[in-house]
Structure 1
Amino acid sequence: MRNDSNFSPAPPGLKLEYNHDLDVSEDFLRAYTLIRKALKDERLIRAFRYYDGEAKKHKRWFESLGIWTLLLALAPLLVAAIRMIVGDEMWKEEISTSAETLGLISVLLVLLSRRRQHRRLWCKAVFCRERLRQWHFQKFLDGEFIGLLVDASDRFDVELDKRWANITHNFRDSYGAMKQFLDFDHDSDSFVKVTPYADRAVAQQVINALSALRVQHQLRYAVQRTADEGEERGLSLEERRSLSEHVAALALAGAVLVIVSALLVPIVSWIAAHGFGHDNWLPKEKILTRYFEGAALFLSVLSAGSRAYRAGFTVPDESESYEEYSNRLREIVAVFDSAPTLLRKMQALKHLEDVATDELRRFLKMKERATFVF
């Protein structure tokens, strides 16, 4: 006899999940029978997963091409600095030729990235994905609409289909919709009009469900994004900020120190020649000056490269944005948890949707400016 416990799914908690606010588990749905149909929409989940996959793909391409472009662009500059340190007598021209070839490849990668428009496609996919999420949760602010769930007719399904058709039709011109969202009036930020709930039991289930799926979920996500260590592979936002900041600052400080040291070489040479009679300091002065100038150039290039890295990954703007978002969410959670009435809790949910919309707008504007080289 087969033991079914051996085939049961693993309990949640160890696998990294982001979108279980939309793809709600059956156990959760069973606790909210009155609004079950509104909590999970399979067609929305399918569309969301498509946009999420496209966003991840184009983000990966944009950042990968950007990093390689930056590294290849730095190669000829770093090689030029090393050549200054080594000297022309011991230098092989093949190294310079190879470095210049890498620089040319970096230009070609820039042209490729611009032609493929990975940054724009990434932003468009994020816009569609997150507006779908907002559309889903904002419908719970429309008490009259959600109240149709307890109606024996199919009025809820008919109205939901109409609203779905409207938002997906607007996505056919996703770039225009995104630019309107970013650059013009914000009257269209909300998909619904806030209306009261006639059925208190339905309203209470909405409050309880959205407390977990929207309020706490958004807060946990913001906290996770600002954590010192990333849960995923790769560096967290804080690690990227700290590492790039230290490299940029230390390299620039080192370059300044080396330049100051180079200015002291002629003084030391003059003292050695006139004070101690060491006339053989002149060739040493030229060699030391060359060493210092090459080292200063090398460190300056490292500092510039680190700052270009920060511009490409929008460091520290992104981490600061999530910090502010997290703080605003904490305030909303405090108001939501302490609200004495359902109406006050609904007002807190409306405020959360406004804050989430502002955060999406800020994120997209920030990523539209992201660039690694030019």
Structure 2
Amino acid sequence: MTISANIYYSTCMSLSRFYLSMYSDLMDSFSIFLRSAFALYIVYVGYQFTMNKKEGKDSQDIFITSILVSAVYVFAFETSGYYNYVIKPAFGLLEDILTFILSKVQEASSYLGKPAETDYFSDVTNITQLFTALDMMFLEFMKTCKGLLPSGWKMFNPLLLVDVFAILMLILAYGAMYCCFVFMFIMSYFLMWLLFYVGGIVLILGCFKETRGIFFSWAKMLFNYALVAIFTALVVAVCYAGISQSVYKMTTYDTTMLNFTADFLGLFVWCFICFAITLKTPDLAAGLTNAMAGSTSGIAGALSMGGGKAAAMSAGLGTMHGKGIGALATKAGQMTGVVPHGRSATQRLKDRLGIKN
């Protein structure tokens, strides 16, 4: 298993094991408190009905809420239903969607290149194979760049320096694309697990009308990070076909001197496009779920919004100061007779000529 695929697999296993161990430890340590709180809530609801404190629609709401709380408490804390019927199906659905998308992208991209180009790298039909393919392509890419390095070094030869600089820029472009994809996908996957960790408490809060907004915000964030993972994998899978074809053509070079061909520039452009679009996937997911974007562009947007508010506040303060200065000047003119009664020179001229407004 390659580096990024191993990181992805280790992350999945660690998060799953942590949830199972945390769940068992949580019930061992706080089971008495949770059961006592649940029992007190049931007693409180029974007291409300017995003493006729609530009537009509209020009593119906309390009765429905008590049933929901009882069902969710047993489902999320007393049994493993939350893990077996919510968490596992959610990640299973995510993996099925990714498998379907990657297989269709692989099928469509197989018609774009020659048989030798499409067979150069292994098929990508799931997310683990995508991580493995990117790692293997990076190794082939580094071997190709090593073969393209100038063999004869001469002091102060600008052409050789340009060749080395071009290769370094290409390596940086591929590395940025690679790291951005690994970070964005694993970050989304990790944050989905964190949201599921607190999902039991959020489900309890969702039973009450006053705190139901917390549940909807939790579900919105969950869908947001799931879409980020899907869009990120889709972008990289689409760009993978073009990147693999460019790397394959570069491996066929039979010279040690760098040749700035369309393949070299194509690989650089493909990496840059993949990197830039991957950064925009959180904005796309946030737009569909009406949530806040979590990418660098979202942070920049928040900063620019803050800067705009600061500028507006500064403009408002400037207007206030300007009005204050104008009022003081008018008052001083009245006192000195320069501006009698606060009238302007144009108004005084109209009064002398008998012109009415």
TM-score greater than 0.5 by the shorter chain:
no
TM-score, with structure 1 as normaliser: 0.30
TM-score, with structure 2 as normaliser: 0.31
Q: Which has the higher contact order (CA 8 A, sep 6+)?
A: 1
